[in-house]
Amino acid sequence: MAKRLGRSKRAEILEVQDFDVSTFFSVIFLTIAGFFAIYSATYAAQGDRFSLQLLFGAIGLAIMLAAALIPVRWFSIAAYPIYVLSLGLLLYVLVAGVEVSGQRNWIVLGGALRFQPSEFAKLATILAVAKYLSSDRKLTKLSHFAITSLIVLIPTELIRREDPGSATVFIAILGVILLWAGTDLFYLTALVAPVVVAALSIFGTTPLVISVLAFGAVLFLVFRRSLLPTTIVFFVIVAAGFSAETIYNNLPEYQRSRVDVLLDPQKDPLNTGYNMIQTKMAIGSGGVLGKGYLQGTQTRLKFVPKQWTDFIISVPAEEFGLIGALLVLSLFAFLVYRSLAIASSVRSTFASVVAIGITGIWFFHILVNIGMTLGLFPVVGIPLPFMSYGGSALVTNMLMAGILMNLYRNRRVTF
């Protein structure tokens, strides 16, 4: 009997030690910071966004804890069905989705509650890719590389039709997973280089020429593959660069205006450039210590439209200054570091790919959102994880955090 109690006690201690306290409290602190920022940005506005965010936070917390404690194999078993379900939801949105802010990418759950399938599809895609790669598939083989890319690009295309900003997240997911899983760098360059060159071409002919020459040197002098595939990839890169202007001209007006504002925020300061200008003013006006909670003039007087969504970081930056902003960014940095450490420590290929995919999502969202706020990237509707208003994003992010915690708890298990 004593021996049984001893074993039970050791098992209990092991369970406590294996609970991922670092990830859990990082998520809780960031979510609470988001609550405070959303309340400040919305308490004088119409609607009850703060209460709704609290509701979704409670739901997300329950889901996070459940995801951290259920058998870890369930995620692997359910990966493909979840992926198919997510594709079905994305197709449904294209046909019968509800339009919000000019984009038809929502499903109404009832009353003020809405669900955005593109958020759920990010996790579903990661699970499907991880499941595929867990069967000893090597990304150095072209067929495995192509299938992995296809798993990601199918939801990317479905989302791009209604929300091009969210679609960019999937490209980041693909790039991070391919690099982590040991893909052939020649294949990865062939996939990424045309996008990079096309993006740089909007800044003028000089960046276009320099980027084309740089990638050409890498292809012909570094990789030294057979002439035919290398030449084909190079011409695709060149074509992408020189067709970018045509693609730009065929974009919807609101997307072209975002690119124009990125290049020159003062071009239309009272319309498309207004958000970016006012956000910078809010951040700069906070100084080192800030103006105090609920005392930020840019926030209190609503100079930043819909500040509770894409520009939420400007609230703590104005009210708590540089110190407050750095504290939030430090929490994000630690969370990304923690998730990267989990991806490195697990023994299962499935677990490692899932962890690095989640890391990639969070890092990309943080990078682009902060970049949008500072005027380094166009405004593409990428929310700040755990802080921006939005139930779909908050619940999905907390679900991903719960999965990470589960992977940490089972880091010694191979499945």
The string of pLDDT tens digits covering residues 141-170 is 888 999 999 999 999 999 888 777 788 899
- Name the amino acid, one letter, at 243: S
Question: Structure pTM?
Answer: 0.87
Domain boundaries, the chain: 13-183+251-409
87-91's contacts with Cβ under 8 Å and 24+ in sequence apart are 87/121, 87/154, 87/155, 87/158, 89/117, 89/120, 89/121, 90/117, 90/118, 90/121, 90/155, 90/158, 90/159, 91/158
3-state helix, strand, coil in the chain (%, to 5): 75, 5, 25
Q: How far apart are CA 252 and CA 229, in angstroms?
A: 34
CB 140 within 8 A of CB 182: yes
Residue with the larger pLDDT of the pair 262 and 172: 172
The predicted structure's pLDDT at residue 49? 84
What 3-state class would DSSP assign to 114?
strand
The predicted structure's pLDDT at residue 11? 41
The string of pLDDT tens digits covering residues 108-123 is 776 667 788 899 999 9
Helix count and strand count (H, E) for the chain = 16, 3
Q: How far apart are CA 320 and CA 289, in angstroms?
A: 5
CB 355 within 8 A of CB 407: yes
Residue 267 pLDDT class (50, 70, 90 cuts): low
Query: E-assigned strands of 2-73?
Result: none
DSSP notation for 279-348: HHHHHHHTTTT-S-TT--HHHHTT-STTTTTTTTTHHHHHHHHHHHHHHHHHHHHHHHHHHHHHHHH-S-
Q: How far apart are CA 400 and CA 24, in angstroms?
A: 11
The predicted structure's pLDDT at residue 255? 64
Taking Cα atoms as reference points, which of 232, 257, 233 lies closest to residue 379? Answer: 257
CB 79 within 8 A of CB 128: yes
What mean pLDDT, rounded, does the chain reach?
A: 84
109 φ/ψ angles, rounded to the nearest 5 degrees: -95, -20
Across 64-90, average pLDDT: 94
